[in-house]
Amino acid sequence: MNYISNAANELTPTNAVIETILSRSAAKYYDTAATLSDDEIRDLVRIGTSAPTSFHLQNWRFIAVRSPDAKARLHSIAWKQPAILDAAVTFIIVGQLADASTVPERLAPVVEAGIMPAHLVPEWEIPARGLYDDQPQRQRDEAVRSATFGTAAIIYAARSLGMGSTPMIGFDADAVHREFGLAEEEIPVMLLTVGPERAGNWPQKPRMPVADVLSFA
């Protein structure tokens, strides 16, 4: 195993995946002439949807904002942040309230692929109903959790492909919901700009010492 020295002169194991994670920082400056093709955007979302979700709910949706008109509409309700206009694409990361009734449908391809026996499906659906039915806070928590996992996967995929990204929470959620046609059970969790960068972005900022955030039980 290879090791690198971090900012605190501590040795950290490294490989290509770890280097991608440790080199990521939020981009501010994007190449305004750069674009991403439909296939490139689909690839990023496909990777994002490989992230875990509770009971395989996959309760997320991704809106790729890239046309000048759509960028302008989003920019006006997202604190007029320049990255929305400058980056190749901004994803509206949408979480969907956890709905246990979707479990059989979500697991059907898993059964068809021979990964899960069909008789286990009710053993997943029943506890999912116990967890989420008539529990609006849990439903919302799961929407945010799933969307965040998917966002993180896209962030690191973009970095591994040489692109920058910026997760953002500065926007009018009600306006985004209305302007981009979200359903009643959908929540705009965050925005994520993605695209080739231009010069001027900072490296990853130092983090708190592990000793300050880790305890053992």
CATH number at residue 175: 3.40.109.10
Q: Does residue 174 form part of some domain? A: yes
- Residues 111-118, mean pLDDT to the nearest whole number: 99
Q: Does residue 184 form part of some domain? A: yes
Distance CA 62, CA 74 (A): 14
Residue-level pLDDT at 7? 61
Q: Does residue 79 form part of some domain? A: yes
The structure tokens listed for 44 are 């990023």
Q: Does residue 78 form part of some domain? A: yes
Band the pLDDT of 143: cuts 50, 70, 90: very high
* Tokens 């359903």 belong to residue: 183
Residue-level pLDDT at 9? 67
Q: Does residue 41 form part of some domain? A: yes
Residue-level pLDDT at 3? 72
Question: 125: closest CA among 57, 205, 35, 189?
Answer: 57
Q: Does residue 89 form part of some domain? A: yes
pLDDT value at 11 more than 90: no
Q: How many domains does the chain have?
A: 1
pLDDT value at 116 more than 90: yes
The structure tokens listed for 80 are 């007029």
Helix or strand holding residue 195 (H, E): strand 186-195
**Residues spanned by the domain of 184:** 33-51+59-100+140-197
Q: Which of 8-17, 19-28, 77-86, 183-192 has the lowest mean pLDDT?
A: 8-17
Q: Does residue 169 form part of some domain? A: yes
Q: Does residue 88 form part of some domain? A: yes
